[in-house]
């Protein structure tokens, strides 16, 4: 977001409904005129941003990345049922190792292939923090995209033309976006749990019954889903992220993403069931937060900010 010395920002909200054209006032045969359609498709930019948050130095590495794996949690290994009735694929952890060894043969000597070892590494790396990652990503989107507005070069402080950029899906502008909360359809064998043999501590992995993702709603009322937290559940879908990164971000040629849009709704079953949602774009408290970034973010870290925002959310039943 902006630096401490940046001037206050202003949120410019897009149209919420298409009941009339905001430029010409027409209510007949509605479509987006050129003034309403000054938009930019940035759906996958959020994927790269979410992955960058995972690499943030404030994030504590998962303990399984710093212990040797002494069993064989490969694809053919069945899930284990625990005393409380839950079940997951068990990763048994032995002696401690250095973080730099994660993904090496020393880290998981019993892996059948290097590819299998690498895949488990990526799944464990993306364990947890889903609510915070989604929240920080959405607030960054609000702050960096929806504070832009068109400014002629003649009145711009730096004498450069400023463009207004907005999200759209196909030809339809995004009217709302935010955080959805619910349940992901995940089989037991695709969940992970970790047993530390040093003290017999059992640590369960990410909970699909407490799942978070990003929703978008178009001006025509169409709902879209962007889920950046399913990779750890063995949904190994990725998108190319090179066009959305720069020298300030970690090297990321591809990042996990599941985007459910019109073709997926038609041709595939739901993998998530929404229970509640929270609008980021149209929440006035977050507008105040973004517009006073200089004061609010001083001496605060990314994960601290995300946790603070989550604690103040008022969820709306879906």
Instruction: Name the helix (H) or strand (E) containing 258.
Output: strand 258-260
Q: Which of 208, 193, 232, 196 is nearest to 83 (CA)?
A: 193
Please answer whether residues 185 and 52 qualify as being in contact, where contact means their C-beta atoms are separated by less than 8 angstroms. Answer: no
pLDDT confidence of residue 3: 47
Rounded to whole angstroms, the Cα distance separating 33 from 24 reads 8
- Chain centroid, CA 115 distance in Å: 25
How does pLDDT run across 175-231, given as a tens digit for each residue?
999 999 999 999 999 999 999 999 999 999 999 999 999 999 998 899 999 999 999
pLDDT at 269: 80
- Which DSSP symbol is given to 197? T
How far is Cα 19 from Cα 28, in angstroms, rounded to an integer?
A: 9
Tokens in use for 137? 């990503």
pLDDT given for residue 152 in this prediction = 64
Average pLDDT over the chain, rounded to an integer: 83
The pLDDT of residue 40 = 43
Q: What pTM value is reported for the model?
A: 0.83
Q: Rounded to whole angstroms, how far apart are CA atoms 285 and 264?
A: 34
Where is pLDDT greater, at 162 or 65?
65
What is the reported pLDDT for 4?
46
Element (H, E) at 279: strand 272-279
As a whole number of angstroms, the distance between CA 65 and CA 278 comes to: 33
Residue 24 confidence (pLDDT): 56
* Residue pLDDT, tens place only, 145-174: 888 776 666 656 666 766 677 788 887 888
Burial class of 15 by CB neighbour count within 10 A (0 to 12, 13 to 18, 19+):
middle
Average pLDDT over residues 75-104: 96
In tens, the pLDDT along 33-63 reads: 444 443 344 566 778 888 888 988 888 999 9
The residue ranges of every structural domain in the chain are 39-282
Q: Give the lowest-confidence range in 86-100, 105-119, 284-298.
A: 284-298
235 in Cβ contact with 189 (< 8 Å): no
């Amino acid at each position: 977001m902006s630096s401490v010395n940046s001037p206050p920002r202003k949120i410019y909200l897009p149209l919420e409904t298409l009941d009339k054209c905001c430029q010409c006032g027409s209510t007949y045969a509605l479509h987006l005129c050129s003034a309403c359609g000054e938009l930019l498709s940035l759906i996958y930019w959020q994927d790269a941003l979410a992955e960058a948050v995972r690499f943030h130095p404030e994030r504590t590495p998962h303990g399984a990345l710093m212990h040797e794996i002494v069993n064989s949690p490969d694809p053919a290994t069945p899930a284990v049922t625990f005393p409380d009735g839950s079940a997951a694929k068990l990763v048994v952890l032995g002696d401690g190792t250095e973080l730099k060894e994660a993904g090496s043969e020393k880290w998981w000597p019993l892996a059948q292939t290097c590819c299998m070892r690498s895949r488990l590494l990526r799944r464990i790396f993306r364990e947890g923090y889903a609510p915070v990652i989604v929240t920080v990503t959405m607030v960054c989107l609000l702050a960096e995209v929806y504070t832009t507005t068109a400014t002629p070069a003649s009145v711009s402080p730096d004498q450069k033309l400023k463009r207004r950029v907005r999200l759209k899906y196909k030809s339809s502008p995004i009217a709302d976006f935010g955080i959805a909360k619910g349940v992901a359809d995940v089989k037991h064998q695709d969940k992970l749990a970790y047993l530390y043999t040093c003290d017999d501590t059992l640590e369960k992995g990410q909970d699909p019954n407490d799942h978070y993702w990003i929703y978008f709603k178009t001006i025509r009322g169409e709902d879209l889903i962007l889920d950046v937290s399913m990779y750890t559940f063995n949904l190994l879908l990725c998108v190319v992220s090179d066009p959305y990164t720069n020298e300030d971000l970690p090297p990321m040629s591809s990042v996990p993403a599941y985007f459910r849009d019109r073709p997926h709704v038609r041709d595939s079953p739901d993998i998530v069931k929404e229970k509640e949602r929270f609008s980021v774009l149209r929440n006035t408290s977050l507008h105040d937060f973004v517009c006073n970034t200089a004061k609010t973010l001083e001496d605060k870290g990314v994960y601290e900010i995300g946790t603070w925002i989550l604690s103040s959310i008022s969820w709306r039943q879906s």
